[in-house]
Every structure is written in C-alpha cells, then in structure tokens.
Amino acid sequence: MVSNPDPLDALQRTLAAEHAAVWGYGMVGAVLVGQQRAAARAADTAHRDQRDLLADLVRARGARPRTAEPAYEVPFPVRSAADGELLAGQLEDRTAAAWHYLVGAADTADLRRTAVAGLTAAAVRATRWRWIVTPDNPTVPFPGQ
C-alpha cells in the first residue's frame, strides 16, 4: 500500500480508469442488444460524465488532465453478448477500484463525497452486470478493494 497518496495523482488515475471504461463500453455496446445494450449505453454516458467531472477537478488543481490512450488492451476477445457482459463487469470493477483509491487519497470532504459517489455508482453497475452472469451471488463484500 502507498502511504500518503497524492490527491492529484489519485484524480489522474481515476480519470485514466474512466477513459478506459468509455473506450471499453464501445466494445461492450457493439455486442449487446435490447435491454442490455440500453444499460451499456446508460453506463457509457455515466462514465463520460465522470470523466468530464474528473478533468475539471484536475484543472481546478492547476494540472493538465490525462488524455485517453489511443487503444486499450482487452483481457479476452469480445465476440458475444456474454463476453460483453463479462467485460462490462470488469470495467466497472476497475473504475470502482480507482474511485476507492481516490476516497483514501482525498484531502477535502467534498472530494471524498464525490469519490464515494463514484465508487458506489460503479459498484452498483458492476453488481448488475455480475447478476446477469452469476445471479446467485453478484455482490462482493468490499467493492473497490
């Protein structure tokens, strides 16, 4: 564990995770249909909003927001709806972990509140995607950890 994490670094990391999520949902949306596609589109919009919010927070600290990478490494080929749902859950877990890190690094109450909200939103979306894959137990004890 890193001691005394830097809030600006944590903001940039979370921003990077949101960039990756937006990119990833492009792949997810391409293989889903109907209700799941709508859910992916809503999640994509939420991640774009979070990305823009984080960029503003980075700028407010006098730094330049990280930009998106041209492409990202995907852990497995995404060819089916099941692949897309699995990837979506992993994208949300990844962003939840970034927001969780930001909670611990935050140096103001406002930033902590923002980070808790970001963690919670990603965790609930992750749970929803997992629920499709493993409906018996889609939850984890400590989202983001």
Partner 1 sequence: MPALTPTRPRRLSRRVALVALAAGVGLVVTGCGSGAAGGTPHPTPLPDPLLPDLEDERRLLAAYEATMAAFPSLVDRLAPLRTNHAAHVAALARAIGVPRGARPSSIEATMATPGPDLPIRPDTSGATGPPGTTGPPGPGPGPATGIAGTPESAVAALRQQERDAMAARTESAVRAAGPRAALLASISAGSACHEAVLGW
φ and ψ of 79, to 5 deg? -120, -25
Please, which residues have CB within 8 angstroms of residue 91's CB and are 6 or more apart in sequence?
20, 21, 24, 25, 28
Q: Per CB under 8 A, which of residues 16..45 are in contact with partner 1?
A: 16-17, 19-20, 24
Q: Is 47 in the site for partner 1 (CB under 8 A)?
A: no
Q: Is 65 in the site for partner 1 (CB under 8 A)?
A: no
Number of residues near partner 1 (by CB under 8 A): 49
Q: Is 97 in the site for partner 1 (CB under 8 A)?
A: yes
Give 3-state DSSP helix, strand, coil % of the chain, rounded to 5: 70, 0, 30
Per CB under 8 A, the segment of 31-39, 47-55, 57-65, 98-106 that binds partner 1 is 98-106
Residue 139 CB burial class (10 angstroms; 0-12, 13-18, ≥19): exposed
Q: Is 46 in the site for partner 1 (CB under 8 A)?
A: no
Taking the C-alpha atoms of 125, 14, 28 and 126 in order, what is their torsion angle to the nearest 10 degrees? Answer: -20
Toward partner 1, which CB reaches closer, 8 or 127? 127
Q: Is 120 in the site for partner 1 (CB under 8 A)?
A: yes
Region label for 134, one of left (φ > 0), alpha (ψ between -120 and 50) or beta (otherwise): beta
Toward partner 1, which CB reaches closer, 46 or 91? 91
Which residues make up the interface to partner 1 (CB under 8 A)?
1, 16-17, 19-20, 24, 69, 72-75, 87, 89-91, 93-94, 96-97, 100-101, 103-104, 106, 109, 112-113, 115-116, 119-120, 123-124, 126-128, 130-131, 134, 136-145
